[in-house]
Amino acid sequence: MKTLWTSRLTSFLFVLPYLAAFALFLLFPILYGFVISLQDFELLSAAHPFVGLRNYMTIFTPGTYENSIFFRGLWTTLQFVLYSVPLLIITGLGIAMLVNALPAKLRGLFRTFYFLPYALSASVMAVIWLMMFDTNAGFINSLLQKLGLTGIPWLTATPWAWIALVLTTLWWTIGFNMIIFVNALNEVPEDYYEAASMDGANAWKRFVSITLPSIRPVMLFVMITSTIASFNIYAQPFLLTRGGPGDTTRVLLINVLDQAFVRKDIGSASAMAILMALLIMLVSIVQFRLTNRKEKV
């Protein structure tokens, strides 16, 4: 007969392998990141003297290089969030409703079409669009010229660079939001709509008074995941616009990785990464709170 503690031990052995991976490659890096952010950590030097909060203070001191790249990068990222998130939500919901309105036989086919780009790697996606947007030889400008219009410098002038980044992001990720919304729409009881139709509510009214309230929790989920994803934008400006024109699309993550691997200042880059992570978590908490409050009113 096994004693109690051997049973507890064997139970623990099941968790141990994952717990080790979790501790080594998630928990430890998080804690280590804080330590690094308190050090003068040059990538290539062996000594990493403790400097307290200096890396953070430099970021918040106007006029320093770190201050400029952090806040300009942050502003650029926020611009992208602002441009992309509403479109990601509206288009995602729109396409989901479109798919649901199609004849049942065709739904699966179109869902697969719309979802397909989501399977691609960010680098594959970006390189395909690099070719599509090429000023001289790109498909889109060739098409515009055929229609008698002039070509557009998609990746080298504003606002086109922003439009290109948002468009590629929509193309690449819209399938995710569509799937979430399709799922939510299918769970709205059919009799709600029938009852409303009998009361003479038109399509728009049914959408506002039945669809939207029913999918509210899902809407919140999509809002949060889309905001976080857009906050983490990297591949599109890194590969398509190279942060340009000038540095109009140099988003925060480009600057953080640049600070770490080009300027080799890991300490300062870690401080920036931590501030960015805190902001991302803060945004999701605020969004969660705001939407919850509305529900109570």
Partner 1 sequence: MGKAKKTGLLLLAILIALFVLLPLVWMLSTAFKNDFEALSGRMNFLPKKPTLDNFVQGLSGELMNTPILRWIVNSLSVGIAGTAIVLLIDSMAAFALARLPDLPLRRTLLAMFIASLMIPGVLTFLPMYIEFNTLGLINTYQALILPATAGAFGVFLLYQFFVSFPKEIEEAARIDGVNKWNLYRRILLPSAVSIMTTLGIFTFMGIYNDFVWPLYATTSPEMRTITAGIAMMATGSYTQSYGKLMAMTTIAALPVLILFIAGQKSFVRAITSSGVK
Report in angstroms how near the CB of residue 253 gets to partner 1 at its nearest.
Answer: 7
**Segment contacting partner 1 by CB under 8 A, of 51-59, 73-81, 82-90, 95-103:** 95-103
Q: Determine, following the binding rule CB under 8 A, whether residue 164 of this chain makes contact with partner 1.
A: no
Report in angstroms how near the CB of residue 86 gets to partner 1 at its nearest.
Answer: 18
Out of 1, 3, 17, 63, point to the residue binding partner 1 (CB under 8 A). Answer: 17
Which lies closer to partner 1 via its Cβ, residue 19 or residue 290? Answer: 19
Q: Determine, following the binding rule CB under 8 A, whether residue 171 of this chain makes contact with partner 1.
A: yes
Q: What angle do CA 160, 165, 171 make, to 5 degrees?
A: 120
Q: Determine, following the binding rule CB under 8 A, whether residue 36 of this chain makes contact with partner 1.
A: yes
Interface with partner 1 (CB under 8 A), residue total: 95
Which lies closer to partner 1 via its Cβ, residue 134 or residue 158? Answer: 134
Which lies closer to partner 1 via its Cβ, residue 1 or residue 297? Answer: 1
Which lies closer to partner 1 via its Cβ, residue 9 or residue 82? Answer: 9
Q: Determine, following the binding rule CB under 8 A, whether residue 132 of this chain makes contact with partner 1.
A: yes
> Which residues, numbered 109-128, are part of the site for partner 1 (CB under 8 A)?
110, 112-124, 126-128
Q: Determine, following the binding rule CB under 8 A, whether residue 81 of this chain makes contact with partner 1.
A: no
